[in-house]
């Protein structure tokens, strides 16, 4: 097993992961924007879709949505806490009978025959955590798809601003008074992060040229019994499109959810989110803007792609 899978397995199986991840849209505005974009794409592409594979399905944000719209969904995830939370939420929504929960790693989809699911989805970048097997994983996601595929991966151009912005997450905090430990850490350490910041050009050049975030440091932490962030491969837009086309996906379209929102100050984002009509209008406009091919690489975290299987 590669270190990427070992580290990913440990991180996502932390006991509190299921509960914390299920509350992301109550906590961070960038998650609201990203998930709104994906939801709009899914709901406008469900014609003749009866079966769905959701790879890296987490707490069931989209598995449950799809089940509520009549699909039969295979909810596939590496994390038991995530699956447990998804099952709890699915039962509360009355759709658990339409979802099959499977614990597994995206690196091994051998249990599934070719073209077995009408739609295959994998959101919030689990493919990027499978380095160095990310292309093979994409190939297998395409292999099991019959009609359509939608995925989001870590965006290289979208991630690089983090190298010059240690406060990137503070911009998107929805409620500074919430009890989420990450929110409170970001607020408490804001001044310290600014004071200790130094732009590391070598690091930025390394990501820009090779795309890989993490490696030896994460491996060392793992060996010490810790649960570091996953080793992550970040994609360029043309690279992702080329991989999908290589495996036979047609009419590939890209988007960068969060490209518009990341240009707006925290105070204005919070004001927009707190007004129901402004929120709806803003998310609709973000969906249009972020799908423009000229900005797709600058999504907040993820690069979104969809295509047809012919």
The 10s digit of each residue's pLDDT in 193-232 is 999 999 999 999 999 999 999 999 999 999 999 999 999 9
The answer to whether 77 and 109 have CB atoms below 8 angstroms apart is: no
- SS3 assignment, position 149: strand
Instruction: Round the CA-based radius of gyration of the chain to a whole number and report it.
Output: 19
* Residue 225: count of CB within 10 angstroms of its CB: 7
Strand, helix or coil for residue 75 = strand
pLDDT interval class at 1 (50, 70, 90):
low
Closest CA to 253 of 223, 291, 220: 291
3-class secondary structure per residue, 246-299: HCCEEEEEEECCCCCHHHCCHHHHHHHHHCHHHHHHHHHHHHHHHCCCCCHHHC
Instruction: Tell me the pLDDT tens digit for each residue of 162-172.
Output: 999 999 999 99
* Contact criterion met (CB below 8 Å) for 17 and 124: no
Residue 80 burial by Cβ neighbours in a 10 Å radius (0-12, 13-18, 19+): middle
**Contact (Cβ atoms closer than 8 angstroms) between residue 92 and residue 67:** no
Q: What is the mean pLDDT of the chain?
A: 96
Say what the pLDDT of residue 70 is.
97
Q: Three-class SS string for 176-194?
A: CCCCCHHHHHHHHCHHHHH
How far apart (Å, rounded) are the C-alpha atoms in residues 276 and 252? Answer: 33
Rounded distance between C-alpha atoms, residue 104 and residue 246, angstroms: 26
Least confident stretch, 13-27, 45-59, 146-160, 282-296: 13-27
Interatomic CA distance for residues 55 and 77, integer angstroms: 6
% of the chain with per-residue pLDDT over 90 = 96
Residue 310 has pLDDT above 90, yes or no: no
Identify the helix (H) or strand (E) that includes residue 118.
strand 117-122
Residue 149: strand pairing partners: 120, 307
> Residue 109 — left, alpha, or beta (φ > 0 → left; ψ -120 to 50 → alpha)?
alpha
* Dihedral angle over CA of 237, 243, 245, 250, nearest 10: -60
Here the tokens at position 95 are 């759709």
Distance CA(47)–CA(50), nearest Å, equals: 9
Q: What's the whole-number mean pLDDT along residues 102-116?
A: 97
Angle at alpha carbon of residue 30, lines to 35 and 211, rounded to 5°: 95
pLDDT tens, position by position, 224-282:
999 999 999 999 999 999 999 999 999 999 999 999 999 999 999 999 999 999 999 99
Residues 64-105 pLDDT 10s = 999 999 999 999 999 999 999 999 999 999 999 999 999 999
Whether residue 2 has pLDDT greater than 90: no
Distance CA 61, CA 251 (A): 26
8 A C-beta contact, residue 244 and residue 138: yes
């Amino acid at each position: 097993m590669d270190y990427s899978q070992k580290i990913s397995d440990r991180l996502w199986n932390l006991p509190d992961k299921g509960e914390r991840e299920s509350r992301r849209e109550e906590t961070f505005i960038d998650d609201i924007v990203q998930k709104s974009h994906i939801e709009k794409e899914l709901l406008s592409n469900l014609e003749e879709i009866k079966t769905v594979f959701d790879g890296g399905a987490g707490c069931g944000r989209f598995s449950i949505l799809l089940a509520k719209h009549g699909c039969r969904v295979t909810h596939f995830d590496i994390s038991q806490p995530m699956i447990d939370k998804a099952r709890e939420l699915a039962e509360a929504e009355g759709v658990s009978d339409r979802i099959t929960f499977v614990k597994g790693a995206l690196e091994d989809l051998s249990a599934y025959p070719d073209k077995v699911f009408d739609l295959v989805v994998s959101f919030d970048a689990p493919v990027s955590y499978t380095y160095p097997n990310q292309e093979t994983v994409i190939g297998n996601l395409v292999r099991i798809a019959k009609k359509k595929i939608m995925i989001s991966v870590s965006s290289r151009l979208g991630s690089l601003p983090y190298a010059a912005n240690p406060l990137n997450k503070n911009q998107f905090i929805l409620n500074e008074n919430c009890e989420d430990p990450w929110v409170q850490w970001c607020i408490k350490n804001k001044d310290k992060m600014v004071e200790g910041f130094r732009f590391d050009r070598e690091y930025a050049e390394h990501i820009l040229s090779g795309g890989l975030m993490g490696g030896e440091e994460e491996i060392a932490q793992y060996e010490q019994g810790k649960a570091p962030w996953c080793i992550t491969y970040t994609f360029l837009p043309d690279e992702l499109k080329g991989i999908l086309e290589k495996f036979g996906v047609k009419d590939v379209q890209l988007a960068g959810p969060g490209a518009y929102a990341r240009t707006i100050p925290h105070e204005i984002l919070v004001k927009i989110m707190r007004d129901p009509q402004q929120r709806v209008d803003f998310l609709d406009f973000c969906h249009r803007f972020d799908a423009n091919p000229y900005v797709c690489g600058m999504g907040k975290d993820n690069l979104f792609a969809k295509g047809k299987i012919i």
